[in-house]
Amino acid sequence: MRERIILHVDMDQFFAAVEMRENPALAGKPVVVGADPKGGRGRGVVSTCNYEARKFGIRSGMPISEAYRLCPNCVFLPVNAELYWRVSGEVMEILKEYADRFEQISVDEAWLDISSRVGSFEEAEEYAKRIQRDVFEKTKLTCSVGIGPNKLIAKMASGMKKPNGITVVPPEKVHEFLYPLPIDNLWGVGKKTAEMFERMGIKTIGDLARYDAARIVEEFGAWGGQLKLFAQGVDNSEVGEEYERKSIGRHHTFERDTKDEKMIKEAVDEMCKDIIGEALANGILFSNITIMVRFSDFETHTSSRTLKIPTNELQVLRKNAWELFAPYLKDRRLIRLVGVRIAKLLHGKGQKRLGEWVSD
Ligand code: TTP
Ligand code: MG
């Protein structure tokens, strides 16, 4: 395999940074962004907080009430998801220009394959500085960058020197970088898996890298084998690989052409459920919904809308799909076939928390 140079870009304190940019009076103050904050008395959870607030021990996922206990003087702001996704779009447009291949992973993260743009890892560091400057000039936001020979290493490196940092891990430094890190730092290792590993005496990534492969596969199945490869710093997946899937769709032909609204609604609901099942199973968010109607005379119509915020929620898909169908139900003709499709997909292994906050 050719040698690659991959960047992972992660915006610093993203939601909070956008809020601070929009309201300069927040500068220097601890800021918490979360669902339903009610000045600290709400029942939601923290989406993120700025670095000032992190000094008090506040973290993403913590109940607002706990954040308030840690820092009653923090400024508590509601989540303005529409704004963050708009800014995210602006940032991603800038980043794309710098890459041969590009893959957005979440609202504030992306991988860039820059292999053809630079000749070495030293040059890659300069290139990353240029990206940081350009992003800052255009958006007034800072980001941190990880540079590595693959997506895994780049992603694990980008968090090392936050904010506004660059961490370079060339191929010959991969083991030195990975092996001392605690096992739960490995991409793909959650809390439960980490506990199982620790019970086997695997405390660091290096411990896993050196562990007997057969025993790992015995305990964890194929996924264990994959994790062991990650522990060794191996990840051959391409940037943008997961973008190949452009849409997920279903259609349904009625046994007899129909105008029965209840029957049509049932078919639409069923398709929506199926589509969401597939999206959730693959960690996919979507922002475009298209429906299709074929009348008994085979005349076929499609109608589409794009959401402001990507989602994976069944309710949102159902409601929008049904609204798109509404005008066609008024037609005097019978309906032969209906279809629903989602597109403008966001893929990614790092996706789960996006789903979490979108459904807050
Ligand atoms: P992160 O990149 O994990 O966090 P961050 O950008 O706020 O801070 P850092 O400088 O450490 O990168 O997540 C990006 C955004 O995603 C974050 O600003 C808010 C949102 N988010 C949630 O809504 N819930 C969560 O649990 C997490 C981790 C993030
Ligand atoms: Mg971030």
Q: Choose among 226, 223, 238: nearest CA to 149.
A: 238
Partners of 113 in the beta sheet? 6, 101
CA of 249 to the centre of ligand 2 (A): 32
Nearest residue (by CA) to ligand 1, atom 10, is: 12
Which amino acid is residue 4, in one-letter code? R
Ligand 1 pocket, residues with Cβ under 6 angstroms: 10-15, 47-48, 60-61, 107-108, 162-163, 353, 357
Annotate 61-128 with three-state secondary structure. CCEHHHHHHHCCCCEEECCCHHHHHHHHHHHHHHHHCCCCEEEEEECCEEEEECCCCCCCHHHHHHHH
What are the DSSP E strand ranges found in the chain? Answer: 6-11, 31-34, 46-49, 75-77, 101-106, 109-113, 143-148, 166-168, 247-258, 285-295, 300-311, 335-346
Atom of ligand 1 at shortest range from CA of 46: 24
State the Cα–Cα distance between residues 133 and 310, nearest whole angstrom. Answer: 28
**One-letter amino acid of 157:** A
For residue 199, how far is its CA from the centre of ligand 1 (angstroms)? 30
pLDDT tens by residue, 343-352: 998 876 444 4
Phi, psi of 341 (to 5 degrees): -140, 140
In this prediction, residue 40 has a pLDDT band, given cuts at 50, 70 and 90, of: confident
Residue of minimum CA distance from atom 22 in ligand 1: 47
Q: Bridge partners of 144?
A: 10
Which are the contacts of 332, defined by CB distance < 8 A and separation ≥ 6? none
Residue percentage of the chain with pLDDT more than 90: 77
For the stretch 243-284, pLDDT in tens is: 456 789 998 889 899 999 999 999 999 999 999 988 887 788
> In this predicted structure, what is the pLDDT of residue 350?
45
Report if pTM > 0.85. Answer: no
What confidence tens digit (pLDDT) does each residue in 159-216 have?
Answer: 999 999 999 999 999 999 999 999 999 998 988 889 999 999 999 999 999 999 999 9
Nearest ligand 1 atom to the CA of 162 is 10
Instruction: Say how many Å lie between the CA of residue 339 and the centre of ligand 2.
Output: 37
Residues 6+ apart with CB under 8 A from 187: 152, 155, 156, 230, 349
Q: What is the model's pLDDT at position 123?
A: 97
Residue among 32, 54, 60 to mutate when testing ligand 1 (max atoms within 8 A of CB): 60
Percent pLDDT > 70 in the chain is 94
Q: Could you check whether the bond before residue 163 is cis, i.e. omega within 30 degrees of 0? A: yes
C-beta neighbour count of 221 within 10 angstroms: 10
Residues lying with their CB under 5 A of ligand 2, a single-atom ion:
10-11, 14, 108
Kindly give the number of the ligand 1 atom that is closest to the alpha carbon of 49.
7
Could you say which ligand is closest to the alpha carbon of residue 80?
A: 1
